[in-house]
Chains A and B, each alone.
Chain A
């Protein structure tokens, strides 16, 4: 069965510092992987996705993620944090088979300190 593990429920960085949010997945089929961002009291917004092809994926707001099959990882990075990046981030993987469900991690809350 597919699953997602996000290491660190809370991450704090200084403004201008590197952002690294970790995601590891388990999948019995070739995975499609997603990162979503959620601002307070809002729904989730797609940041980026990996389906096939290039393993380094660029998304909105300067974020990128690299699919590493050997490490079963899909970590999210941003070179320089901005105050507006403070939000909760969710990693997700497709459930495989004929269904269209996504399996979500438990989320990482990113705080950005001035």
Chain B
């Protein structure tokens, strides 16, 4: 069964900390995505990557960066966590254009 694995289900971090959210897929997919999900706002794209070391900004990249050193791993980095980054973070991957996504289980991040 294909899988996207997010390293943590729940995280609590302090304001100003540097936070790493990890995502690994075992499907050899080219494309990987990071979304955040907030009530009433749906899913908003933060960053995506279509190849190793390649990345593009999504709709809300401010305060975030990403890293994709290997095809299977896509990391989201909060450079200096703030309380308005408290959210559910979802990682997804797909093999190409017009395919649906496979999602991870999500990481619920609380910044205090």
Please report A residues at the B interface, Cβ cutoff 8 Å: 9, 32, 34, 36, 41-46, 49, 51, 90, 94, 98-102, 104-107
Contact = CB atoms under 8 A, between A and B. Distances in A.
A80 B105 CA distance: 28
Interface in B65-112: 90, 92, 94, 96-106, 108
A37 B104 CA distance: 13
B6 to A, nearest CB: 8
A90 B45 CA distance: 15
Contact of A101 (B33, B40, B104, B105): B33
B105 A32 contact: no
Nearest to A91: B42
A44 B101 contact: yes
A43 B103 contact: yes
B45 A101 contact: yes
A27 to B, nearest CB: 12
Contacts of B100: 34, 36, 46, 49, 102
B70 to A, nearest CB: 19
Interface residues of B, number: 29
Nearest to B32: A100
Nearest to B48: A101
A45 B4 CA distance: 12
A100 B97 contact: yes
Most buried by B among A45, A100, A106: A100
Contacts of B102: 46
A62 to B, nearest CB: 19
B108 A100 contact: no
Nearest to A109: B39
Contact of B105 (A34, A42, A105): A42
B13 to A, nearest CB: 19
A60 to B, nearest CB: 12
A101 B93 CA distance: 10
A104 B42 contact: yes
B42 A41 contact: no
Given A44-B101, A49-B100, A100-B31, A106 B106 contact: no
